[in-house]
Structure 1
Amino acid sequence: MSATAIVIGATGLVGAALTDRLAEAPHIEKIITLTRRPAPHASAKVENRVADFARLEDYGELFRGRWLFSCLGTTRRQAGSIEAQRQVDLIMQQQAAELGARGGISHYLLVSSSGASAQSSNPYLKMKGELEEVVRALPYERISIFRPSLLLGERNHLRLGEKLGSWILPLLCTLPGLRRFRPIRGDQVAEKMVQVSTTPGPALEFFSLDEVFPDKNVPS
């Protein structure tokens, strides 16, 4: 099987850091990044393909390799509505996961969210939980789901709510019972994803915040 990794959401906070780390990883021979706009990369290992995510079925031939890293996501404000956000965070993600399964990819790695649940009353956590349920039913040899809290790092656009949260949450999360909600840097999630892709694991695994990074690495 080709040591090829496919990355969707490669221009986002986690996806960009992930692509950089995969480009340096010796177990990866080739990286295909699917993006809505051109996103060139300095590494010769990275092949960027511009895709219409509303027509992902047209790009099925690109979903062939060993790993599919799914980092795609948006916000309600960026998308314009909950339904538009759902198209990105659930529908497009589901289509990509199905194409990867049909293309013979063996290991699927998903960035989900802390608190994801299909039964949640929160629309964002609900769509994340629904996506988890969908992908768990697909015939991958291995599925790794990462559930970070608020992601910290430099973005290409301002997310005001996340910016405020990055200031306030680290202080609140020093209180007992709130540590599991503390923020994490996007590059830490990316590093963990690459690490997981190099080692054997169970058919289905979840990585909560404490499993992504220990207390000594908590951002200040």
Structure 2
Amino acid sequence: MTKKAIVIGATGLVGRAIVQQLVNTDYIGKVITLTRRSSPHSSTKVLNQVVDFDQLDNYLSLFDGDFLFSCLGTTVKQAGSINGQRKVDLEYQFKAAELAAKNGVSHYLLVSSTGANGQSNNSYLKMKGELEHRVSQLIFKRISIFQPSLLLGERTQIRLGEKMGCWIMPIICIIPFLRRFRPITGEQVAAKMVSISQREGASREFYRLDEIFIK
């Protein structure tokens, strides 16, 4: 029997790759993408639904499936402030997870970050750590959290800081003790997430950088 996957953040680097890889699998019969603006896909497996993320409670019925892939993310510059970034990276994702848990979605898969820590002095790592903690309290049969480092790949919007990091980090990470910070492509993260969704696993599991790379 084929299953249904829900993807939020489907227009981002990892989300786009997840949608395409799910389309190419036999075990997924339908992919629901929830986006702020219309985002059609060439595959008949994909159903795009435009939602208001500030009013997600109005879309409870859309969070009905077997998997929720949560890949939302923005930058302070795009969001306009730290609070704006928290709304996208933390509040929207947590609300989506709550609705999925309420609807009985069994497997929740989250893109977090290396160094995520709710006690961190870094606002980005703090919000990622807070999200990890909050979703871990929800009633899902299985939660898989992925903690990649800098993500490489073609984005719809250029992020200057990430662009510079893409040039510098592969060189710096030749140094052995810095290898844990080496960049990874969005395609690689997506491949690991899709792979994990196809097999049994623990009820709560973390995949850190070295565990995300597929040899």
Same fold (TM over 0.5): yes
Find the counterpart in structure 2 of residue 134 from structure 1: 134
**Size of the alignment, in residue pairs?**
215
Matched-pair contact (CA < 8 Å) for 2:2–2:28: no
What letter matches 1:204 in structure 2?
R
Find the counterpart in structure 1 of residue 120 from structure 2: 120
Deviation at 1:173, TM superposition (A): 0.7
Find the counterpart in structure 2 of residue 188 from structure 1: 188
Find the counterpart in structure 2 of residue 158 from structure 1: 158
Deviation at 1:2, TM superposition (A): 6.9
Find the counterpart in structure 1 of residue 93 from structure 2: 93
Query: What RMSD over aligned residues (CA atoms) do the two structures have, in Å?
Result: 1.0
Deviation at 1:3, TM superposition (A): 1.0
Find the counterpart in structure 1 of residue 213 from structure 2: 213
Matched-pair contact (CA < 8 Å) for 2:8–2:71: yes
Describe the SS at the equivalent of 1:56.
helix
Find the counterpart in structure 1 of residue 21 from structure 2: 21
**Compared CA separation, residues 182 and 70, structure 1 to 2 (3 A):** same
| Cα distance in structure 2, aligned partners of 1:109 and 1:165 | 26
Taking structure 2 as the reference length, what is the TM-score of the superposition?
A: 0.98
For 1:25-36, what aligned pairs fall within 5 Å after superposition? Answer: 25-36=25-36
| Cα distance in structure 2, aligned partners of 1:126 and 1:158 | 24
Structure 1 residue runs of 5 or longer lacking an equivalent are: none
Deviation at 1:176, TM superposition (A): 2.1
Matched-pair contact (CA < 8 Å) for 2:2–2:27: no
Describe the SS at the equivalent of 1:44.
coil
Find the counterpart in structure 2 of residue 176 from structure 1: 176
2:5 maps to 1:5: yes
Map Cα deviations across residues 140-192 of structure 1 (whole Å, 9 max, x no partner): 00000000000000000110000000000001111121000000000100000
What letter matches 1:30 in structure 2?
K
Describe the SS at the equivalent of 2:28.
coil
Describe the SS at the equivalent of 1:202.
coil
Taking structure 1 as the reference length, what is the TM-score of the superposition?
A: 0.96
